[in-house]
Amino acid sequence: MILGVLRALWMIFWIFWGTLAIGGSAIVMALFGIRGPVYVRMTRAWARIALWSSGSDAVLHGVENVTPGEPFVLVANHVSWFDIFAIAAKLPVDYHFVAKKELEKIPVFGLAWRVAGHISIDRGNRESATRSLRKAGEQMREQKSVVIIFAEGTRSRTGRLLPFKKGAFVLAAETGIPIIPTVVTGSFDIMRPDTFVVRPATIHVYFEPAIPAQGNSVDALMTRTRAVFVERLEEMDLLPPADAPPAVPSATD
């Protein structure tokens, strides 16, 4: 327990200074009009600091499904902050996150988040959220990049898969950009909700084969994507009790 608390303090120390150094540099660079993929590299460096300082690591599976230079909507589950660290630190292509607008209120981090091109969603304002999703679609097309969205819209407090929100699937259906279901395991126990103890672990990130958006409705995309999560988690004996074994609908559903 004491070692876990000390490790949490160590991690927070490095994340704090990493945010000041990397986030501050990003803000200054933006003031000088610097644009481009340099901000992805800075995001990746920040996430690697967070992983390293926790004593944890991440292993990618199926990375060949993420084709460089092709836009994708990367839809992931979310049980821990370490999901973000793992994907951001290891994903080898350019990417931007879509997340709740409240992150913009964090000093230094919030401004760095915006200048790095990550996209905020106002979950309480439907029109604003729709505009943000359209911006994400434009960004994917222009930059041929990956947009990362957590399907549940919030962190699971129990480690179990929550109901999916429609945002990611609306984005995919409107743009015709394929979805890559991304199953993250092993992150929940590193630092459980409402605790101040870090237990190092290896996070596994599974990039599943892409699901084409064209020819699928929003509901069909959501159902097919969730079925992939259920199948992977069932295989690993991590299936939430509320989910039945997967039944993948046809593209015409």
Q: What is the CATH number of the domain that holds 30?
A: 3.40.1130.10
Residue 244 lies in a domain: no
- What does the alpha-carbon distance between residue 39 and residue 135 come to, in Å, rounded to a whole number? 18
Residue 33 lies in a domain: yes
Question: What share of the chain has pLDDT > 90, as a percent?
Answer: 64
Quick one: pLDDT at residue 64? Answer: 95
Angle of helix 126-143 relative to helix 167-175, nearest 10 degrees, comes to: 50
How many domains does the chain fold into?
Answer: 1
Q: Which of 85, 90, 91, 96 is nearest to 37 (CA)?
A: 96
The pLDDT of residue 245 is above 60: no
pLDDT tens digit sequence for 20-69 = 999 999 999 999 999 888 999 999 999 999 999 999 999 999 999 999 98
- What does the alpha-carbon distance between residue 51 and residue 46 come to, in Å, rounded to a whole number? 9
Quick one: pLDDT at residue 239? Answer: 62
Residue 56 lies in a domain: yes
Quick one: pLDDT at residue 199? Answer: 95
Residue 247 lies in a domain: no
Question: Which string of DSSP letters, residue by residue, matches 219-233?
Answer: HHHHHHHHHHHHHHH
Provide the 10 A C-beta neighbour count for residue 54.
24
Residue 229 lies in a domain: yes
Residue 108 lies in a domain: yes
Q: What is the mean pLDDT of the chain?
A: 88
- What does the alpha-carbon distance between residue 229 and residue 128 come to, in Å, rounded to a whole number? 29
Grade residue 7 by pLDDT with cuts at 50, 70 and 90: very high
Quick one: pLDDT at residue 250? Answer: 46
**3-state class of 128 per DSSP?**
helix
- Tell the residue number behind the tokens 């959501």, with chain if given: 222
Side chain identity, residue 74: L
**pTM here?**
0.88
Quick one: pLDDT at residue 252? Answer: 43
Quick one: pLDDT at residue 253? Answer: 44
- What does the alpha-carbon distance between residue 96 and residue 110 come to, in Å, rounded to a whole number? 14
Grade residue 148 by pLDDT with cuts at 50, 70 and 90: very high
HSE (CB half, 13 Å, CA atoms) of 197?
8
Quick one: pLDDT at residue 135? Answer: 77
Instruction: Tell me what the mean pLDDT of segment 112-130 comes to.
Output: 81
Quick one: pLDDT at residue 251? Answer: 44
For 67, the domain range is 2-235
pLDDT tens digit sequence for 175-220 = 899 999 999 999 999 998 888 999 999 999 999 999 999 889 999 9
CB 51 within 8 A of CB 44: no
**Of the ranges 25-39, 136-150, 194-208, 238-252, which one carries the lowest mean pLDDT score?**
238-252
Residue 198 lies in a domain: yes
Q: Cα 140 vs. chain centroid, distance in angstroms?
A: 15
Question: Can you give the length of the chain in residues?
Answer: 253
pLDDT tens digit sequence for 90-113 = 999 999 998 888 888 899 999 999
Q: Which of 72, 54, 69 is nearest to 199 (CA)?
A: 54
Residue 240 lies in a domain: no
